[in-house]
Chains A and B, each alone.
Chain A
Amino acid sequence: MSREHHMLPVWFFVGVLLTIYGIILLITAITEFSHPPAVVLAQYHPGFWGGILLLLIGGFYTLRFRPGRRRKE
């Protein structure tokens, strides 16, 4: 966004949402490592890897588009 009053870009909100979700998924997955849920292919721990993925994507967008950082659209 190029508004003079510096509206936060949508990407920042994407980052915050995915970061929070990544944390929730990771904590859930870690607490269930020793007793995986009764789903198919649970041995691959998709929740853990999904949490990592969300944290990486969310972290990137949050830092890249955080308030106070000059951005060009």
Chain B
Amino acid sequence: MALTSLTAAGIWLQSTNKLISLSFSDLLIIIFYFAMMLGIGFYLKRYANTSNDFFLAGREMSAWVAGLSFLSANLGALELMGWAAATYQYGILAAHFYWIAAFPSMVFLGLVMMPFYYISKTHSVPGYLQLRYGEATRALSGISFAFMTILMSGINMYAMALVMKVVLGWNIHFSIWISSLTVAIYVSLGGLFSAIFNEVLQFFLIWLGALVVPVLGMIEVGGWSGLVARIQERVHSDDYVHLWSTLGSFSGNPMGVHWTGVVFGLGGVIACGYWTTDFLVVQRAMAAKDLRSAQLTPIIASYFKMIIPLIVILPGLLALAVLPYRLVPESAIHPGLHSYNEVLPLMLARYCGPGLLGLGVTALIAGFMSGMAGNVSAFATVWTYDIYQPYIRKSESDAHYVRVGRWCTILGVILSIATAYFVTQFKSIMDYMQALVSFFIAPLFGTVILGMVWRRATPKAGFWGLLAGTVSSIAMYALVKANPAYLRVIALSPNAKDMAENLYRALWSWLICVLVTVIVSLFTTPKHADQLTGLVYGFTTFPNDRDLPLYKRPLFWGAGVAVFFAILQWIFW
């Protein structure tokens, strides 16, 4: 009866062809989540009245809070669904995007780069670039980041609306507006506090909402050996359950990649580029209460990153084993068929009754919304500190910049909505937009890491290296788009497939960035030593933690991640 009245009251809740039908208890769970988010935003407003509070949560987060938030900022529903789909397509190889992408990059951020971000007291990654290289590099990085982050927020919003339409039959406009308004309210009120609180909540929701699939799935198939046997029976190959042994050649595995691309392209450049320079995640570590907590933030997150495959990769493998029909690519969809991207909702529908289904759907919604909240809070920070304050209105009061931050949050949401609607008209544009993000990540990592470890890197070199790396990435992408035969040149093999393009393009663009930065540095003037204090190795004093017990040292926990990583690779070799 309650569902009928809800449906009557909101004509936008259309029942079309959908995978899942929600019961009253499912809707109650979803509605309570939205109420909770808004309530938290109103509660936290009183604590977010200075710029340090609004943009950096007062820099007082504990390592645990910052760590869970750090991970959740990345763990959006698009990623959960996308990697479950990739697992169905490529098998356990998809786990590389969690394991080698977690270690060494997240540990590297914690142990090597976080001290410079934290000690320099910068408020953003472009802010660090301004201190290290100057305004030109900050402007290039800040403007491109602000643009990309809003684009990604809009893409996420559109993707969420599409998922809700396919899975639940919800009207796209309803999904876009309800989620956007909720995010706009709670982030503009509580700033980064709100974003972080909701990310921590999202972490629990995702785990508790998704855990039923691997638990019941493994019971159904009879454990890991039963799962492997069923997969082999279905696909007539054991390539889907080996992590490394099939990577000796491009043609030897479903993904069409080589181990060099996985190790150096993915684990080295892409992962480091993302985890160490994407301000969306780095901002969470910067919000920590002290340097040790800031260093522990990504390290704590990396432990959880390593076990995420339990709720993402394993459901994809289970779907391969238990679903009575084959899933198909989006391009091959016909009525009655399901696409790879529907793996996670299909598995939720397989095992979850009323209540549990609502929890699972809420976890997906929470993932989308916290991704959007993270993007708009990062956008507001970079816009206010790296564009508005230095170039538009300098020397205003702190309260003024907080007001700008709040309005910027709302502006960010409006721009995200506009992007989402733009994408509804030009769906293929989504691929180009996502590629846009990838153009900057690897070169930015090159610029930042050289700035931190090489005192000789000059301001002019920082700018030109970043630009050269980015332009080369765009050029390689355009070349392969125009003529797919160029993939064999970039990936150095005629057997490389599409996934290899991302990995090797990142590697080459990083190398080009580093090379140009080094060469230009040799012909230009570096900053004076006193301008590099706290910014580069050799001119920065690190706190000594030798008096701390072993279990309190970030290096100890970082070493633990390395051991955990090694064990997982050995088990699933």
Binding site for B on A (CB under 8 A): 1-3, 5, 7-8, 10, 13-14, 16-18, 20-21, 24-25, 27-29, 32, 36-37, 39-42, 44, 46-47, 50-51, 53-54, 57, 73
Whether B216 is near chain A, meaning CB under 8 Å from some CB there, is yes
A8 contacts across to B, CB distance below 8 A: 43
Interface residues on B, range: 35 or more
Kindly state the separation between the CA atoms of A15 and B29 in the bound complex, as whole angstroms: 15
B443 CB to nearest chain A CB (Å):
35
Pairs across A and B, CB under 8 Å, 6 listed: A10-B65, A17-B205, A21-B359, A50-B355, A54-B208, A57-B208
B359 contacts across to A, CB distance below 8 A: 21, 25, 50
Kindly state the separation between the CA atoms of A56 and B251 in the bound complex, as whole angstroms: 50
Interface residues as binary, B178-207 with A (CB distance below 8 Å gives 1, 0 otherwise): 000000000000000000110011001100
Whether B538 is near chain A, meaning CB under 8 Å from some CB there, is no
A14 CB to nearest chain B CB (Å):
6
Kindly state the separation between the CA atoms of A28 and B353 in the bound complex, as whole angstroms: 9
**Is the Cβ of B355 less than 8 Å from the Cβ of A24?**
yes
Identify whether the interface residues of B are mostly helix, strand, loop, or mixed.
helix
**Is the Cβ of B351 less than 8 Å from the Cβ of A39?**
yes
Whether B47 is near chain A, meaning CB under 8 Å from some CB there, is yes
Kindly state the separation between the CA atoms of A42 and B25 in the bound complex, as whole angstroms: 17
- With A3-B47, A10-B196 in contact, do A42 and B353 touch (Cβ < 8 Å)? yes
B23 contacts across to A, CB distance below 8 A: 28
Q: Contacting A51 at CB < 8 Å: which of B33, B65, B205, B355?
A: B355
B162 CB to nearest chain A CB (Å):
25
> Which residues of B (12-69) have their CB < 8 Å from a CB of A?
23, 25, 28-29, 32-33, 36, 40, 43-44, 47, 58, 60, 62, 65
**Is the Cβ of B201 less than 8 Å from the Cβ of A29?**
no
Whether B248 is near chain A, meaning CB under 8 Å from some CB there, is no
A25 contacts across to B, CB distance below 8 A: 25, 355-356, 359
Chain A residue nearest to B33 (CB atoms) is A17
Q: Contacting A20 at CB < 8 Å: which of B32, B197, B204, B219?
A: B32
Kindly state the separation between the CA atoms of A31 and B60 in the bound complex, as whole angstroms: 45
**Is the Cβ of A47 less than 8 Å from the Cβ of B220?**
no
B358 contacts across to A, CB distance below 8 A: 24
- With A40-B216, A41-B216, A50-B208 in contact, do A10 and B354 touch (Cβ < 8 Å)? no
Nearest 7 CB-CB pairs, A to B?
Answer: A37-B353, A28-B355, A28-B25, A25-B355, A10-B200, A10-B197, A47-B355
Whether B413 is near chain A, meaning CB under 8 Å from some CB there, is no
B108 CB to nearest chain A CB (Å):
27
B386 CB to nearest chain A CB (Å):
27
**Is the Cβ of B58 less than 8 Å from the Cβ of A3?**
yes
Kindly state the separation between the CA atoms of A19 and B433 in the bound complex, as whole angstroms: 40
